[in-house]
Homo-oligomer: A and B are copies of this chain.
Amino acid sequence: MTEPHQCSVDLRLKILGKVPFFGDLSPADLDKINTLFRERGFEQDEVICFAGDPAEQLFVVADGRVKLVRHTLAGKDVVLDILKAGEFFGSLTALGDDVYSETAQAQTSTCILTIGKDSFCQILDLYPPVTLKVINIMAARLRTAQEYVRQLSASPVEARIAHTLLVLCKKFGQATDVGLLIQVPLSRDDLAAMTGTTTETASRVMSQFQKDGLIETGRQWVAILDRAGLEAISEES
């Protein structure tokens, strides 16, 4: 059931074209770049790379969902982001004795394209506009992380969960007859790890949201009914 994904060559090209920093390249260039990537499939819950391992690869999600996690000594994990097709993770440091700073785990069955950091540097050399885009994306991610910090510092749990739901909705939302369904298997545990709280508290808040008619939710799924309502809560404090 959860067989590792495989992608056709066509799909690979399409995915690489969707990667933000390759978007503007010609098909010929994309084709050349494509040859530098290898492909690997991962089953659900399988770990793609471990925090602390030497960082030698850059990964691009071709299909599926990937969860970026930081571990703590006490075993309380923190989920930093959930990625979809076209997004990348792993080593972005051209050189240095670096290790992966977070663990990447397949949240669904997944297909990943990988490239060695040397090859990636070659690409940057060959296509300067790509480099600029990479900087822009890094800047955007930095801003997101800082916004995350602000929320953790200053907002109560309710607001953080509401905000997280909205972010997920924007990224993974799909209109259905039960509202905007978030296309990610999302447990209370995951949600807690994304908002810096506990499973129980996440559950309580979600129950309340459901009672208030803001969302519809069940085992590993969430649908948003009232975006404006969630926005109001997310701005509390």
Contact = CB atoms under 8 A, between A and B. Distances in A.
Contact of A150 (B72, B92, B153, B235): B72
Interface residues of A, number: 44
Given A128-B128, A149-B78, A154 B196 contact: yes
A149 to B, nearest CB: 5
A152 interface: yes
Nearest to A55: B139
Contact of A72 (B78, B121, B143, B154): B154
A131 interface: yes
Given A70-B150, A101-B143, A196-B154, A135 B76 contact: no
Contacts of A143: 101
A73 interface: yes
How many subunits of this chain does the assembly comprise? Answer: 2
Interface of A is mostly: helix
Interface string A75-90: 0101010000000000
User: Which of A92, A193, A195: most chain B Cβ within 10 A?
Assistant: A92
User: Which of A76, A136, A138, A153: most chain B Cβ within 10 A?
Assistant: A153
Interface in A47-105: 70, 72-74, 76, 78, 80, 92-96, 101-102
A169 to B, nearest CB: 21
A119 interface: no
A26 interface: no
19 contacts: A72-B154, A72-B237, A73-B235, A76-B154, A76-B237, A78-B154, A93-B139, A94-B135, A102-B146, A125-B128, A128-B128, A131-B131, A131-B132, A138-B138, A141-B142, A145-B145, A145-B149, A149-B196, A152-B153
Given A76-B153, A138-B142, A145-B149, 11 more contacts: A73-B235, A78-B149, A78-B154, A92-B135, A124-B128, A124-B132, A135-B135, A142-B142, A145-B145, A149-B152, A153-B195
